[in-house]
Amino acid sequence: MSQAELDLVEDLLGGSHRALARAITKIENRSPGYRDIVSALHEHAGSAEVIGITGSPGAGKSTLVDKLVKRYRDRGETVGVIAVDPSSPYTGGAVLGDRIRMASNVGDMDVFFRSMSARGRLGGLSTATSDAVTALDAFGKDRVVIETVGAGQNEIDIVRTADSVVVLVQPGSGDDVQMLKAGILEIGDVFVVNKADMDGTARTVAELEEMIHLRSNPRKNLDTGHHRVDEAQGASVVNGEQEEEAATWTPEVVETVATSGDGIDDLAESLAAHRTFLEESGRLREKAQTRYAEEIRRLVQSDLSDLVEREFDARGGVDAFAAAVADRETDPYTVADEVVAPVRACLEETDDG
């Protein structure tokens, strides 16, 4: 690590918001030395509560985040906010990065707001987001809130980064509920029906609660004769043998009107309850371990991909191989074996050594 990077890390840990902003810029741009910076910050992270906010466009995510952050600040807690915006196909930059979304917290130095580009990452989160969370965590922020791009069946990257996930829907939106049925229901720890002063709120809440109930009890109304839940013992009875069940969290449904702040206290209480569940059940460490496993895999795959690209370049580029395949001089599997062979040989040599 260079002296400049050491100084940047020291200044960040010392509470410099300028250093924090510079570090996140390096992280987002993947500038030389950013990995050393994240590595140095890692040992100082691990105490912040990370909350993910997602939902379909127009559900009021930004306003809700603004009011939730204000609620935490009123309690004296410091907050970092990462808003993951759609990417420009031309520059890779955040399309909506300059919009004003934190009106209630403008000028508050204990609220650090950063808009980041999704950079086309499937699921809406860029690969730099988790590193930015590490920087905010190491800086000493009590809570880090991630607001993601839209929502859909692929909006699951947030699960790997956040401890608690909030999913927003609007009243009377059949499309939103169908979207939840398509898969995103699985990621929510708290569901928020925002704009609850609109017609259709009660029906949307009822639909969500029914879906959650069915998710929590998938065998409801199914009498197989082999499985039942012993509520008195809190355990499953399978073929006559009792087994202890792992602690589970049943997602809560909260009604809010973000523009006025109604229901924000209820949302904060639900998030606090989920945090308590994670800590007491041991799930918090399990989630962290799963998150790091995914991160390690992602980094290794990225590094190996870079090595393979270098091998392609050393052999004349991938287009030369593609031309040979098109001329039927070779085939894709043989090319892959040839390119990966040096890496495989190095690994086998290490194992033998």
Domain ranges of the chain: 1-44, 46-281, 300-352
Distance in angstroms between the alpha carbons of the first and the last residue of the chain: 30
pLDDT confidence tier of residue 289, bands split at 50, 70 and 90: very high
Region 241-251: what's the mean pLDDT? 70
Q: With pLDDT > 90 as the criterion, what percentage of the chain qualifies?
A: 46
pTM: 0.81
pLDDT digits (tens, 9 = 90+) for 26-77: 998 889 999 999 999 999 999 999 999 988 778 888 999 999 999 999 999 9
| Across 6-20, 139-153, 254-268, 305-319, least confident range | 139-153
Q: In the beta sheet, which residues pair with residue 190?
A: 166, 252
Q: Please say if the pLDDT value at position 189 is more than 90.
A: yes
Q: Please say if the pLDDT value at position 223 is more than 70.
A: no
How far, in whole angstroms, is CA 96 from its chain's centroid?
A: 19
Helix, strand, coil percentages, rounded to 5, for the chain: 50, 15, 35
Q: Please say if the pLDDT value at position 245 is more than 80.
A: no
d(C-alpha 5, C-alpha 7), whole Å: 5
- The answer to whether 110 touches 79, Cβ cutoff 8 Å, is yes
The hierarchical CATH code for the domain 46-281 is: 3.40.50.300
Residues 6+ positions from 330 with CB-CB distance below 8 Å: 321, 324
Counting runs of H as helices and runs of E as strands, what totals does the chain give? Answer: 12, 10
Residue (of 125, 111, 161) closest to 287 by Cα position: 161
